[in-house]
Structure 1
Amino acid sequence: MTDHGPGLRTEARDGARRRLAFLATWAPSGRLAVPVIVSLVLVSNMVGVGTVILLLLGVEDGSGRSGRAEVLWAAAAYLVVALPAATVAGLRRQRVTNRWLMAGRAPTREEARHALRLPLDTALIAACVWFIAAILMGTVAAFSFPDARVGARVAVVVILGGVVTAGVTYLLVARVARAVTARALAEHPPVGALTLGVRIRLLLTWGLTSGVPMLGVVLLHLDPSNPGGPGRNAVVFLVVVALLVGALATLLIARAVGQPLRELRQAVQQVGSGDYEVDVVVDDAGEIGLLQEGVNSMAAGLAERERLRDLFGRHVGTSVAQRALATGVSLGGEERTVAALFVDIAGSTSLVRRTGPEEMVGLLNRFFEIVVDTIEGEGGLVNKFEGDAALCVFGAPTDHPDPAGAALRAARRICAAVADAGEVDVGVGVACGRVWAGQVGAASRLEYTVIGDPVNEAARLTELAKDHPGRAVASEPTVLTAGADERPHWAPGREIELRGRDEPTKTWVLA
């Protein structure tokens, strides 16, 4: 025999596990939904019928003459009529649901509300069928046995069987109809009007697993038509039925509650890891459905908030966006010591004539990508773009340990990167000092900006830098304020009186 190795065995086990998972979660939809559900309801009712028949086989009144044959014949005749009638009633009750399922279209709100009642409607039809059977069979038993009290005993047995069958029918249909429920709730999510919720379903499970069996045992001992007490076979059979029905009901309720909770836990973990593309299938019209819809709404809200944060950061800068989100829309103005860096393309007028507007836009985007990456890499803020120029700030709106040094390093890196790209020629001016930083504008449209002499000084130095070989000029206070490791990259330049200033400015240039 050839051993195909552990890999194939593992693959086989995984395949079997996937098939079991599929069978556990499969639910019919479309054209198959209603026929499959009706078939399962018929099966559950036939199981109930078999259980009641077995219980009735032990019915006697101690007179030696039994009317069991008449009761069983009456039950068989009733089944011939009742089961087809119940099937037709169920199909007619859900013909609205079957219509939109077979058409493959989305349901209206009323159609969705009708589809959500499918488990409850099916269980009520089953309960009606069994209630009528209890009256019929109890009456037949009362006339067939010498002791008419046997009729009450038979009626009670049938009613208990009907309760179990109706409860199992509800749980089974609710489990199988998940696909129908999900399609209905996908178009019209739950908004708080609950159908049977978790509490009612748990109480129903308790009734099927404990209430009905215990009541049956009590009634067997209190039965006045059987003074000798219940036989051993009847009690054992009732206990076995209780165990089997209890196992089925517990399994159904565990699947109905446990599987959505696992999906919700996975979705919350996914959101917690930063992935907001979460779409939990809403397949429950009760509290679990509200929770599923709430998780979807939460994930959508977080995704929208993240998109707004990203767009906000792209337009005003990451640091300004974070500060605004932390403190509110209106940032209070304040005085700060900052370093201002102004960068401008030299000869942009002639450049746009040579390249054309469309190519010029692409060139500007590549240029500004260098500027943005460099400024943010040094902890600064690109405050605004002004055509082919950009104003950058270090030290606002957040503190910077060395704004002057960071601005000078950024100026050197920008000049080097632009020279390597070889597409444009630039000038970079750097100045530092006290400015006012905050929001300006109207109540409906605000802009974060810095206003002060260093900003104007940096813009004037930029014009000088365009004519200097190093393409970067800084004011002397900026270089002297920067850290000692940055100063060797700069050399003293000319002393010049800048436009709009009353006193000369000592400049340093990129060495």
Structure 2
Amino acid sequence: MARRRSVSRQLGWVLERITRQSGRLPPSTPDFGSRLLGSSVESQRSRRRRMRFLIIVFVAVADLIGIAVVAVIVIVAVPEPSIFSDAPGWLTWGIAPAYATIALLVGSLWVRRRLSSAVGWSIEGHAPTRADQRNTLQAPWRLAGIHLVLWGVGTALLTTLYGLVNADFIPKFLFGIGFSGIVAATNCYLVTEFALRPAAARALEAGRPPRGLAAGLMGRIMMVWILGSGLPVLGIMLSSVFSLWRRIETRAQFVVGELILATIVLIVGFAMMWIVAWLTATPVRVVRAALERVQDGHLDTTLVVFDGTEFGELQRGFNAMAHGLRERERVRDLFGRHVGRRVAAYAEQHQIELGGEERHAAVLFVDVEGSTQIAASQPPMEVVNLLNRFFRVIVDEVDQHHGHLNKFVGDATLAVFGAPMRLNRPEDNALAAARAIARRLGEEVPECAAGLGVAAGTVVAGNLGTRERFEYTVIGDPVNEAARLSDLAKSTPARLLASEAAVTAAGHDERSRWQLGEEVVLRGRGTPTRLAAPTAEDFAGHD
């Protein structure tokens, strides 16, 4: 059973990976804003190992830098009293380095345990709950709190022990270790928030975090400024006041010490603000790259929401926007398929109103010959496939000649040229399309013969129906005439007839491809119509 669950979990991960791969950003734009964090399609186990390694390394480096800053402050910046000559060796060479070593080991184990409890759910492969989300998003704060505890204990311990030896050590260690501890804890928060982006991305799938759960962008920046610049500057001021009051340094020592402290604060403040600026800029770059892909037509682009601040809302908003665009494009595509691309474009550019207008247009009517016998002699699916091949020819040629395929009526088709898009001479387009359709049907769908009729004149084109359900169509005498001509054309060799009015209104080149014939009275009409058929050369297939 356990093996079956493991296989099922692996299959689920593979399917998730394939799904996410389709809408990913290009390799130049990492999913989480940095290549150090890997990809969103990485396995959960690899992702967890990566996050744990990055956090342990980053936190250890931050602690070591903090210890180095303490050494610079207590040895160089504030040399008097000296920890070498004015303090016992067991304290300087024994207690201080021993506590630093123990704190590093305890801190690493504590961080690892806290990290496992915060993001351990992600390795199990189940959907995150609200509790998982809360633990994951609060993990950077809790890990920073661990550092504050360890550095706070060290500050209290060493300040007390050195203060018992000489009271002048108290402000020196209180400022030196306290300042370094605050900087190390702040850096721990920043690097942990960065390294936990993949876990935060999965945690945010549970929904928007509650207000106050994750620090906002303004809160993050102000916190870094206060802890990285504000408090250290205040410490320098208090240290200066204490030095002047106690008069334990010469003027040169005082100036050099203050310059060193100011330089440390300047470097540390700059580094912390740079980290914040980088953490702030990477989500913006990811969103910008995604917007560029959408502008290029890749509407399947989606972002991994990995930030718990306002940038997470921006990423979530982008995904909602992209989803809306995909839905709009899908509806637009369906609308275009149902009513025709040109009608869809016309409807988007103009306000839709019921009613119609008079237009000069040409009409092509195509009707299948013997459709009843075809349906009775073949299985239904074969009939459907045959008709689809038949209609594909008609759709191709009508589109090629800038017409509008108005409707399919059973096994018949009505195409209009000149509405809704105006054409200079719609007769040319309709007659050329009819000749091409007749030729291609004979070559590509010989088992499905059809009659084609072309007529031209004034029609009423517009939206007919009600506000709830309407249809763009054309009505008028040319429509009826084209339908009658298609019936009559079934008994002619070319299976294609046009009215004299349509041929004479065409241009010279198109008109030369047709020959006039006899006059007939079409069914349902009172006046005779002179027929026109393609010339023998065109009938033979030479266009």
In the superposition, relative to structure 1, how do residues 380 and 48 fare at CA in structure 2: closer, same or farther (>3 Å)?
same
Distance 2:257 2:36 in 1: 34
Question: What stretches of structure 1 of length at least 5 have no aligned partner?
Answer: 1-17
| 1:229-264 deviation per Cα after TM superposition (whole angstroms, max 9, x unaligned) | 545774565466446645643553344233333332
User: Counterpart in 1 of 2:122?
Assistant: 101
Distance 2:324 2:361 in 1: 37
Distance 1:418 1:234 in 2: 96
Give the deviation of 1:378 after TM superposition.
1.0
Which shifted more, 151-160 or 424-433? 151-160
Q: 2:141 aligns with which of 81, 106, 120?
A: 120
Give the deviation of 1:298 after TM superposition.
2.1
Distance 2:385 2:82 in 1: 102
Give the deviation of 1:275 after TM superposition.
1.5
Q: 2:173 aligns with which of 143, 154, 159?
A: 154
Residue 153 (structure 2) pairs with residue 111 (structure 1): no
Distance 2:529 2:212 in 1: 75
Q: Give matches, 1:27-66, under 5 Å.
A: 29-30=47-48, 33-34=51-52, 36-38=54-56, 40-57=58-75, 58=78, 60-61=80-81, 66=86
Which shifted more, 492-501 or 213-222? 213-222
Distance 2:311 2:232 in 1: 29
Residue 193 (structure 2) pairs with residue 174 (structure 1): yes
Q: TM-score, normalised by structure 2?
A: 0.79
Give the deviation of 1:392 after TM superposition.
0.6
Distance 1:64 1:197 in 2: 45
Aligned-partner SS, 2:508? coil
In the superposition, relative to structure 1, how do residues 149 and 435 fare at CA in structure 2: closer, same or farther (>3 Å)?
same
Amino acid at match of 2:187: V
Question: What stretches of structure 2 of length at least 5 have no aligned partner?
Answer: 1-29, 40-45, 536-543
In the superposition, relative to structure 1, how do residues 395 and 246 fare at CA in structure 2: closer, same or farther (>3 Å)?
same
Amino acid at match of 1:98: V
User: Counterpart in 1 of 2:23?
Assistant: none
User: For the Cα contact (< 8 Å) 1:383–1:392, is it kept in 2?
Assistant: yes
Q: Give matches, 1:18-29, under 5 Å.
A: 24-26=36-38, 29=47
Distance 2:210 2:490 in 1: 65
Q: 1:325 aligns with which of 345, 348, 352?
A: 348
Amino acid at match of 1:320: V
Amino acid at match of 1:66: D
User: Counterpart in 2 of 1:4?
Assistant: none
Give the deviation of 1:198 after TM superposition.
3.7
User: For the Cα contact (< 8 Å) 1:209–1:243, is it kept in 2?
Assistant: no
The size of the alignment, in residue pairs, is 490
In the superposition, relative to structure 1, how do residues 22 and 256 fare at CA in structure 2: closer, same or farther (>3 Å)?
closer
Give the deviation of 1:459 after TM superposition.
0.8
User: For the Cα contact (< 8 Å) 1:333–1:437, is it kept in 2?
Assistant: yes
User: Counterpart in 1 of 2:18?
Assistant: none
Distance 1:62 1:425 in 2: 108
CA root-mean-square deviation: 3.4
Q: Give matches, 1:69-468, under 5 Å.
A: 72=92, 75=96, 90=111, 96-145=117-166, 148=167, 150-188=169-207, 195-207=214-226, 210-211=229-230, 214-223=233-242, 224-228=245-249, 230=253, 234=257, 238=261, 241-242=264-265, 245-246=268-269, 248-250=271-273, 252-327=275-350, 332-421=355-444, 422-468=446-492
Aligned-partner SS, 2:512? helix
Which shifted more, 136-145 or 337-346? 136-145
Q: TM-score, normalised by structure 1?
A: 0.84
Amino acid at match of 1:498: L
User: For the Cα contact (< 8 Å) 2:463–2:470, is it kept in 1?
Assistant: yes
Identity among equivalent positions (%) equals 38
User: For the Cα contact (< 8 Å) 1:435–1:453, is it kept in 2?
Assistant: yes
Give the deviation of 1:86 after TM superposition.
5.4
User: For the Cα contact (< 8 Å) 1:189–1:293, is it kept in 2?
Assistant: no
Distance 1:488 1:331 in 2: 40
| 1:48-78 deviation per Cα after TM superposition (whole angstroms, max 9, x unaligned) | 2343244334554599983475865665576
